[in-house]
Amino acid sequence: MSVTTACVKRAFKYRFFPTDAQAAELSRTFGCVRKVYNLALAARTEAWARQERVNYNQTSAMLTVWKKTEELAYLAEVSSVPLQQCLRHLQAAFTNFFGKRAKYPRFKSRKKSRKSAEYTTSGFRFRKGELTLAKMSEPLDIVWSRPLPAGAQPSTVTVSQDSAGRWFVSLLCDDPSVKPLPATDKAVGIDVGLNRLLTLSTGEKIANPRHERRDRARLAKAQRALAKKAKGDGANRAKARRKVAKIHARIADRRRDTLHKLTTRLVRENQTLVIEDLTVRNMVKNHTLARAISDASWREFRSLLEYKAAWYGREVIAVDRFFPSSRLCSHCGALRERMPLSVRTWTCDGCGTVHDRDVNAAKNLLAAGLAVTVCGAGVRPQRRTPGGQSAMKQKTPRREP
């Protein structure tokens, strides 16, 4: 009896260039998706105030009624598939809210919300490498920057437009090429930072590209030009806003490319990867370091590392953020009382070992992560100071009262 492994669902994202008619159709679809989402959210919110619950089936019936009204008759002019999909997304948002995994769903803004529409198999045709969406007579002009898996048939297609005006299509397919890698005995501790993007327990230090800083002057100039434009929907202000968005998109693309290359390399080389469970949301409240932390994108690094490890049969361990990895001697285990961020090298009072702050932290993270593996889940690798208080790693400077 042969054992078959389920293929990994993988999204392949490409840029495309729509014709004027296709762009107009997609723009109408984006607007209708936003309108239906907001109408359904308002209906469910009103029902919630009356202590009633409205599910997907009820909102789907509401959509049929809305299309028959004179005011919302334009909803019938676009494909019904993206409209139904946005109702399913709203249902998922409420499921996460009731499961205490997310906040209450918010209304979509015309200017700030992401412009996207999702099509299932009944809403598109994919034949001979050409993708044609519902309500369109011509296929999309897609730039196939990389091939799809052999014989792949997309299960869903998501079309989106970013704030810089670029059009993208994402095809969700089964990818049989994603399989667990051969097991290895290598393990690595990873300490994230600002002076160095990553420091590994092997002693390797990976430089921080600082993508935002490289384009900061150009971004500031574009933002000043935007600030001088009169508020409103004028063409000049829209052009200036698009120029700022293009610079932000350039920064984000380069940052994402760097993180993808780093995480792929780390996952391929190591069986166990140990990181620190940082609360980036709280750390960016420090206005001195918020810009640098956001540019380093620690949260995205962890997200990429975790899903790639799941793909290839690797293990990612997150050590408790209160673990004093920087102040703990990786040689003898002695704990130092205080260590300001300005101290990059220090000498252990117990054994006299000279430590590089970041390398020492990565080594301690690795040891703590391996201890979690041996002791089992739920272990908080935490040390106590001689005074009995919890030892906290100092990632951000604190002001003394």
Neighbours of 274 (CB within 10 A): 27
Q: Active-site residue 358, yes or no?
A: yes
Residue 343, both tokens: 């101290």
CA distances from 123 to 140, 152, 169, 233 (A): 14, 17, 14, 33
Adjacency order of strands within the sheet including 315-319: 205-207, 196-200, 187-192, 272-276, 315-319
H/E stretch holding 132? strand 130-133
Query: CA 190, 192, 193: angle at the middle one, nearest 5?
Result: 145
Q: Active-site residue 52, yes or no?
A: no
CA distances from 293 to 16, 286, 323, 344 (A): 32, 10, 20, 18
Q: Active-site residue 276, yes or no?
A: yes
* Helices H / strands E in the chain, number of each: 10, 14
Catalytic residue among 25, 212, 295, 358: 358
The burial of 285, by beta-carbon neighbours within 10 Å (0-12 exposed, 13-18 middle, 19 or more buried), is given as exposed
Catalytic residue among 25, 118, 212, 276: 276
Calpha distance 265→102 (Å, rounded)? 32
Contact 97, 44 (CB under 8 A): no
Contact 10, 175 (CB under 8 A): yes
Catalytic residue among 25, 191, 212, 295: 191
Strands 156-161 and 115-120: antiparallel
Residues designated as active site: 191, 276, 358
